[in-house]
Amino acid sequence: MAPDASPEAQAPVEVPLAEATHSLLATQYGVWHPKIRQHTPKAVVLDVEEIEPAFVQWLDEDGLALSDANDQRAPQRTVLNDDDAEVLSEPSDEEEQGAHFPALSARIAEVLREFGTVFPKLNWSAPQDAAWMMPGHTIQCQTPNDVFLLLKSSDFAMKDLVQLRELQAACEREGRPERPRLQLVLKKWFDMPRSHEFRCFVRDGRLVGACQRDVTFYEHLQDPDVQSTIQRLLTECYHTHIAPHAPLDIVWDAYLTRRLDRAFVLDLNPWLPRTDPLLWTFDELQAAPAQDPVPLRVLTSAAQATQALPTYSAHMVPADHCRVCAAVG
Amino acid 306: pLDDT? 63
Query: Please, how many CA atoms are within 13 Å of residue 285, restricted to the half-sphere of its CB?
Result: 32
Strands (E) in the chain, as ranges, are 43-47, 118-121, 183-188, 197-203, 206-212, 250-256, 263-270, 296-297
Q: Is the Cβ–Cβ distance between 165 and 123 less than 8 Å?
A: no
Q: Are 214 and 195 in contact (CB under 8 A)?
A: yes
Q: Where are the domains of the chain?
A: 42-71+98-188, 193-314
Residue 77, CA distances (Å) to 31, 74, 80, 93, 207 in order: 42, 9, 9, 20, 54
pLDDT of res. 72: 59
In the structure, what pLDDT confidence band is assigned to residue 201 with cuts at 50, 70 and 90? very high
pLDDT tens sequence across 241-288? 999 999 999 999 999 999 999 999 999 999 998 899 999 999 999 999
The CA distance from 325 to 329, in Å, is 6
Q: Is the pLDDT of residue 233 over 50?
A: yes
Collapsed DSSP state (helix, strand, coil) of residue 200: strand
Q: Which residue has the higher pLDDT, 133 or 66?
A: 133
Q: What's the CA gap between 246 and 248, in Å, rounded? A: 7
- What pLDDT does residue 91 have? 42
How far is C-alpha 297 from the geometric centre of its chain's CA atoms? 21
User: pTM value?
Assistant: 0.80
Question: Across all residues in the chain, what is the average pLDDT?
Answer: 83
Average pLDDT over residues 232-249: 97
Look at residue 73 and tell me whether its pLDDT is greater than 90. no
